[in-house]
């Protein structure tokens, strides 16, 4: 068997009750929540019982998804399933870095809280949203975004799915252009134009935060959204790459292909939903992708990888 990679889910995958069954059954998952609850009282109730409306607010979404991501990964590790590499989609990259030892759980969670506040503030200063475009190649989406005005390709999810962020006016124009080109444009369940130039102030704030809390070298390689390649070991360079991520594209297609070239043939999505599992299937051939949010899914992953 080849190598195993954990993929940590990002914002947009949240849903009411996410991770609830895992926390109830798995001691390692509960331990994660207990530790984070001390830093943000009410986190567990919000994450495990909160409404879709509350979970859609950036200040709530990011810490909740981070908690579920890390809880699921730690539950797998508690069963002896350990990755050779990790990557996280957008917010999930912070959880991946924490799991790999770049930050303590507490510092990573503080970073997530700061990141959520900074991105929410940037969204209020520069309102916008995001669209997932399917049925069109990334190159064509880039052309249409440029024609629309204040719109930018920001998530390269798979060969035929690219997410664009921008101002509301520009995206209305962009939606029409996509229809004319034979594609389909779907609104993403987020509250801002993330990973676009409209998030420049968030990157500046993150750079300042990371200047005082620099990451450490990781125990396993972590693939970076901004480059689609593994992080290096220099703390200053790592901090710069992570800060840049908030206002620059997520190169997810490149990340998956790079991991596969490195020898990964089993991808396990840790955290809420199955979005990343599906993107693996849309991007790579000859590999397997397994979600892990529920105890039942965890059992399937353990059996598939350990053969028990």
Query: Catalytic residues, which ones?
Result: 90, 195
Question: In terms of DSSP H, where are the helices of 245-286?
Answer: 252-261, 275-283
CA distance 65 to 12: 9
Q: Which two tokens stand for residue 79?
A: 């069963």
Residues 6+ apart with CB under 8 A from 108: 66, 70, 94, 95, 97, 98, 102
Question: In terms of DSSP H, where are the helices of the chain?
Answer: 20-25, 27-37, 43-49, 52-55, 58-78, 92-99, 105-125, 138-148, 168-180, 200-212, 235-244, 252-261, 275-283, 295-306
The answer to whether residues 162 and 153 touch, using CB atoms and an 8 Å cutoff, is: yes
Question: By C-alpha distance, which of 172, 91, 94 is closest to 129?
Answer: 172
Q: For residue 264, what is the enclosing H or E element? A: strand 264-270
DSSP one-letter string for 56-97: TSHHHHHHHHHHHHHHHHHHHHHTT---SEEEESTTHHHHHH
Residues 6+ apart with CB under 8 A from 28: 71, 74, 75, 77, 78
The answer to whether residues 28 and 82 touch, using CB atoms and an 8 Å cutoff, is: no
CB atoms within 10 A of CB 146: 12
Question: By C-alpha distance, which of 246, 235, 161, 156 is closest to 195?
Answer: 246
CA distance 133 to 123: 21
CA distance 22 to 297: 10
């Amino acid at each position: 068997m080849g190598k195993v990679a954990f993929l940590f889910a990002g914002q947009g995958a949240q849903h009411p009750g996410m991770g609830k069954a895992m926390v109830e059954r798995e001691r390692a998952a509960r331990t994660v929540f207990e530790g984070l609850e001390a830093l943000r009282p009410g986190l567990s109730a919000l994450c495990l019982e909160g409404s879709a409306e509350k979970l859609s607010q950036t200040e709530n979404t990011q810490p909740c998804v981070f908690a579920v991501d890390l809880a699921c990964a730690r539950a797998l590790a508690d069963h002896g399933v350990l990755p050779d590499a990790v990557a996280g989609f957008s917010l999930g990259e912070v959880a991946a870095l924490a799991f790999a030892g770049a930050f303590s759980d507490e510092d990573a969670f503080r970073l997530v809280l700061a990141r959520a506040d900074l991105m929410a503030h940037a969204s209020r200063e520069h309102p916008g949203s995001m669209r997932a475009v399917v049925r069109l190649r990334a190159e064509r989406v880039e052309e249409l975004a440029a024609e629309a005005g204040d719109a930018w390709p920001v998530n390269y999810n798979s060969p035929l799915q690219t997410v664009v962020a921008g101002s509301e006016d520009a995206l209305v124009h962009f939606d029409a252009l996509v229809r004319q080109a034979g594609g389909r444009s779907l609104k993403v369940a987020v509250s801002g134009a993330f990973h676009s130039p409209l998030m420049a102030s968030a990157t500046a704030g993150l750079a300042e935060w990371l200047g005082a809390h620099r990451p450490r070298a990781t125990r396993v390689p972590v693939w970076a959204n901004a480059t689609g390649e593994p992080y290096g070991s220099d703390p200053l360079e790592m901090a710069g790459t992570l800060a840049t991520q908030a206002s620059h594209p997520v190169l997810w297609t490149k990340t998956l292909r790079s991991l596969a070239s490195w020898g990964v043939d089993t991808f396990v999505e840790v955290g809420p939903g199955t979005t990343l599992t599906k993107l693996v299937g849309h991007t790579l051939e000859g590999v397997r992708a397994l979600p892990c949010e529920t105890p039942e899914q965890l059992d399937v992953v353990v059996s598939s990888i350990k053969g028990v």
